[in-house]
Amino acid sequence: MTIKVGDKLPDVKLVRATDNGPEAVQSADYFAGRKVALFSVPGAFTPTCSARHLPGYVEKAAELKAKGIDEIAATAVNDAFVMGAWNKSAGSEDITMLADGNGEFAEALGLTMDGSGFGLGKRGQRFSMIVDDGTVTQLNVEQPGDFSVSSAEHMLGQL
């Protein structure tokens, strides 16, 4: 079943990429008590993700926070080391990287895709959501190959 607006996020383990290395976090704890702009990409360092998706959130971080977002987080079916390197390469301190190395979060959300044709295996779909105290208040899932409704610009228009 795919998550929808009004649902609580499933409680699964994610791994936050930090300067001190990977740090395990439970999604229920991470999203509790704050408003988070979360976006998901099929993979760190992939073309659209690196050229447009992450840079858009870096560029619009201050505007998102000015509209009530407490934290901006990115997730992908990659390990925390890759997510941390991607943030150092193209991100900013305004973005928290949440690694979903085994795809358990994407699976629990019902938002997986098969990237086998590109050598990627099972991945998370490209999407964005606003999560308020663990509850999804906005959800934007891209059609395969598209990049529009999961952008930072689109999310700003929803706030």
Split at pLDDT 50, 70, 90, the class of 39 is very high
Tally of domains in the chain: 1
Mean predicted confidence (pLDDT) in 74-91: 92
Q: What is the pLDDT of residue 48?
A: 65
Which of 29 and 19 is assigned the larger pLDDT? 29
Q: What is the pLDDT of residue 1?
A: 67
- List the catalytic residues: 49
Which of 126 and 113 is assigned the larger pLDDT? 126
Q: Is the pLDDT of residue 41 over 70?
A: yes
4 falls within a domain? no
Residues 6+ apart with CB under 8 A from 142: 125, 126, 127, 148, 149, 150
CB 11 within 8 A of CB 26: yes
Which of 137 and 143 is assigned the larger pLDDT? 137
Using only C-alpha atoms, the chain has a radius of gyration, in whole angstroms, of 14
Cα separation, 130 vs 39, in Å, equals: 9
Q: Is the pLDDT of residue 49 over 60?
A: no
User: 139 - beta bridge partners?
Assistant: 129
Quote the DSSP letter at residue 51.
I
94 falls within a domain? yes
Q: Percent of the chain having pLDDT more than 90?
A: 66
Mean pLDDT of the chain: 90
CATH code for the domain in which residue 77 is found: 3.40.30.10
Residue 81 domain boundaries? 13-158
CB 22 within 8 A of CB 99: yes
Split at pLDDT 50, 70, 90, the class of 6 is very high
User: 146 - beta bridge partners?
Assistant: none
